[in-house]
Structure 1
Amino acid sequence: MSLQHLILLRHGETDWNAVRRMQGHRDIPLNDTGLAQAAAAAPSVAALRPEIIVSSDLARAFATAGAVAAITGQQIVVDQRLRETSLGLWEGLTREDVVAGWPGEWQQWRTTSAHYAPPEGESRSQVAARAAAVVDELDAGDTGRALLVAHGGLIVGLTGRLLELPADSWSALIGVGNCHWVELHRLDGRWRLHSYNAGLGGVVLPGSEDEEAVAGV
């Protein structure tokens, strides 16, 4: 086990984030606010001294990773396994659209998304498993400190899995804000939570219950 420090950074804001439209695998770029968020957060993330930067292949994550790489001078490793949760038929929709089209399923997904998947989409457990494979491969190498630049739903699931939390409790983790991050340190062979939803604006609390542990928006 080589990894001792892991930083999980969520991408900056997109136009779809701003109106809470569900993105999933849709390749939506950062908007001007998101670009400014990435530039502002990058020095603090770079100060955590990652030895490698691995990014989702989606543009919003890659551009956020680029802001950090511009400071550290590192090359970005792109890995499709760090993509956000596939939301299937819900991608491109708002909460209101889902509630109208699939009565009762929004609440089921929001509270049990570790097991429940949207129609033709993925569960959070599936997403966490593919992201954990990236961590395992880094762990098998000689990297001690890694930065993964990814997406809110993936970060919640991966955090729960690495901390060995029961999957039924993952929905207790609130969503991670744009350009906020999670830090994990390894102690005695186990991952420990150092900070959660950290960022330049401090901890971001959900503005409503719909923001709690919501993936893919």
Structure 2
Amino acid sequence: MKDRGLIMLRHGETTYNATRRMQGQLDTELSERGMEQAVAAAHKLGHLPISRVISSDLRRAADTAKLIGARLDMDVEIDPRLRETHLGLWQGRTHDEVDVEFPGKRATWRNSPGWAPPEGESRLDVAARARPVIDELLAGHSDWPGTWVVIVAHGGAISALTSNLLGFRTEQYPLLTGLKNTAASVLVGRPRFGVENPDVTRGDAQWYFRGWNVFGEV
């Protein structure tokens, strides 16, 4: 059976990224540099056999995805389950501002995937929200084998979803470094080894890691 390729690409730079301000689910826009990054990512993906492009509904991701879709002459599907982590009371604040009001808590957040900022989501929450998007693709996307699906989303959401798909234990989630703008997590799905009569259309797939921070600027 042919591999199912999955490219989960982070959006281009926003002014919040450039000023180390925490966005979460704030609907921020791409900076000029972010638009250029998105165009460059679209060209890098142009040679691949891509069957679908699916994006978070937040503008920074959706606008990145539209540039990719235009390069591929494909429509972009929008799914709000791919939104970034809701950062609660931290949204809109700089790293320094959060560190002053919540000393030590950003480190707790980075290293404890079950911990959430005040009034926000944990990485485990995000993984549980986003995972059904992939499972539904497996169940209903008959053209996927032998092609790539591109997911355009956000650094935290992609990290959480990657960890979930690979079956990481909770304590392993922090092993992935930060994902750069327009860089990607690359996985392939195959029938699960050792399962009698595996049927990947019902989500019975094993995911394998092909790369992290792929395509983007290093």
TM-score normalised by the chain length of structure 2: 0.88
Q: How does 1:34-73 map to 2 (within 5 A)?
A: 34-73=34-73
Contact 1:9-1:179 within 8 A present in 2 as well: yes
Partner of 1:199: 215
Cα shift readout 1:97-130 (whole Å, capped 9, x = no counterpart): 1111112212111211x10000000000110111
Q: Aligned-pair RMSD on alpha carbons?
A: 1.5
Percent identical residues: 43
| Paired residue secondary structure (2:48) | coil
Cα shift readout 1:31-70 (whole Å, capped 9, x = no counterpart): 1000000001102123232211110000000111011101
Contact 1:89-1:120 within 8 A present in 2 as well: yes
Partner of 2:133: 134
TM-score normalised by the chain length of structure 1: 0.89
Corresponding letter in the other structure for 1:20: R
Partner of 2:188: 185
Is 1:31 the counterpart of 2:31 in the alignment? yes
Contact 2:22-2:94 within 8 A present in 1 as well: yes
| Paired residue secondary structure (1:197) | strand
* Distance in 2 separating the partners of 1:29 and 1:2: 37
Cα shift readout 1:144-188 (whole Å, capped 9, x = no counterpart): 131110000001111111010112111110011001111101234
Contact 2:114-2:124 within 8 A present in 1 as well: yes
CA shift for structure 1 position 143: 4.0
* Distance in 1 separating the partners of 2:111 and 2:3: 31
Any stretches of 5+ residues in structure 1 without a counterpart? 205-217
Structure 1 residues 200 and 158: alpha-carbon distance in aligned structure 2, compared to 1, 3 A threshold: closer
Q: Which moved more, 1:67-76 or 1:55-64?
A: 67-76
Partner of 2:77: 77
**Which residue, 158, 161, 164 being the options, matches 2:161?**
158
CA radius of gyration, larger in = 2
* Distance in 2 separating the partners of 1:200 and 1:156: 15
Contact 2:53-2:69 within 8 A present in 1 as well: yes
* Distance in 2 separating the partners of 1:3 and 1:20: 38
Contact 1:11-1:60 within 8 A present in 2 as well: yes
* Distance in 2 separating the partners of 1:4 and 1:200: 22
Partner of 2:6: 6
